[in-house]
Amino acid sequence: MLYTDLAQTPNLFPLPIHIPFAYCNKHSLLPSTIPQLLPPCNIHAIRNFFQSIVFAQEYIGQPSSHLPRSNTLASSSSTKEEQAQDQTTTMSKSDSKACPTCKRGIEDAPAKPAPKSTTVDIDGDIEDTLNQLPPLPTPLPKAHPDFIHCVPPQAPTYRKYSVFTAGSIEMGAAVQWQKHMAKFLSPLPVTVNNPRRGHWDPATTKEAKNEAFRHQVEWELSALEKATVICFFFDVNTKSPVTMLELGLWAHSGKVVVCCSKDFWRAGNIHIVCERYGIPFVESFEALVPAIKDMLVEKGMKLDADGNLID
């Protein structure tokens, strides 16, 4: 007679017990007491039942290195239920596939990289292929202590006189004429308001309800209103519809200076508007700088020999 220890199956047998097994000439390994208690027609069912127990024991006895945690069964059914609950909760939190044998969660796939930002640097250097801008002086002129160059979104700091660089930007496609102008005007005690901000998302909805877009437009409108001089520069490689809109808005203000090459696609329109409203008009950047200084003087700016304002 053989004895099999079934204490490893606490769900089926809560207490450690030993059941005698015996061979019969008709059936496989069966408890010796079962044939005596049940009619012969039930013996096969009992045999299948205990074979299932043996299969479960072999399944549970897989190498622990393949399981998510130790498979040593607890001595009480409540502990096993807690472990099952823990495993169920853990797997439900993961979208990973599981091992078909042990149900161990396969390590999650690496997180997808964040989508690339669509923000562009509209203040980057643009090659001046048509030589629209003159070289900067060498060495650069010394900036006046009261000179200030302001860009959005920060609110400008105003001196007594200010210049607004209203001209081509075209989402960063235009040459960097605004920074160029700021360098040439830096010896003056003035504020230069440059609407060409460092970065801008071209996906930003150009609608009045869009907060970022509205802030940019209102920054420009406010600086235009407060400017002593508004200078316009039309890059020949751009369409510049907003620049033309602003020129039409301020053409009759008496504080506008325009630079527009004959190669600009609407140069004729720009030239006629300037003639009609008496706007100083030049065709090169080199001529635009002195035209701005002349208008600042016309608006009352007087400097001493050291370049400081005379009140």
Edge-to-edge order in the sheet of strand 229-234: 148-150, 191-193, 162-167, 229-234, 256-260, 281-282
Element (H, E) at 289: helix 285-298
For residue 166, being part of any structural domain is answered with yes
Q: Which two tokens stand for residue 182?
A: 């700021």
Residue 289 maps to a domain: yes
In this predicted model, what pLDDT tens digit does every residue of 49-77 receive, in sequence order? 556 555 555 555 554 444 444 444 444 45
Q: Report how far residue 251's alpha carbon sits from residue 243's, in angstroms, rounded to the nearest whole number.
A: 12
Residue 186 falls inside a structural domain: yes
Residue with tokens 């751009």: 238
Dihedral angle sign, alpha carbons of residues 193, 197, 203, 209: negative
Q: What is the maximal distance between C-alpha atoms in the chain?
A: 126
Q: Is residue 266, in this structure, part of any structural domain at all?
A: yes
For the chain, strand residue ranges (E) read: 2-5, 18-22, 30-31, 120-121, 148-150, 162-167, 191-193, 199-200, 229-234, 256-260, 281-282
Residue 169 in any domain: the answer is yes
Best CA proximity match to 87, nearest among 104, 65, 111: 104
What percent of the chain lies above the pLDDT cut of 70? 59
Q: Decide if pLDDT at 233 tops 60.
A: yes
pLDDT in tens, 123-179: 678 899 999 999 999 999 999 999 999 999 999 999 999 999 999 987 767 899 999
Measured CA to CA, the distance from residue 189 to residue 179 in angstroms comes to: 17
> Of the candidates 233, 267, 234, 232, which has an alpha carbon nearest to the alpha carbon of residue 253?
232
> Could you tell me if 119 and 172 are in contact, meaning their C-beta atoms sit under 8 angstroms apart?
no
* Strand runs labelled E in 89-216: 120-121, 148-150, 162-167, 191-193, 199-200
Structure tokens at 149: 């160059």
Higher pLDDT, 78 or 277: 277
Is residue 256 domain-resident?
yes
- Tell me how many domains the chain contains: 1
Judged by phi (left if over 0) then psi (alpha if -120 to 50, else beta), residue 69 lies in beta
The domain of 238 spans: 144-200+208-299
| Position 279 in a domain | yes
- Residue 134: inside a domain, yes or no? no
What is the average per-residue pLDDT within 87-100?
51
CATH number at residue 158: 3.40.50.450
Other Cβ atoms less than 10 A from the Cβ of 126: the count is 16
Cβ(196)–Cβ(123) below 8 Å: yes
pLDDT in tens, 192-230: 999 997 665 767 777 888 998 899 999 999 999 999 999
User: Given the DSSP bridges, would you call strands 162-167 and 120-121 parallel, antiparallel or unpaired?
Assistant: unpaired
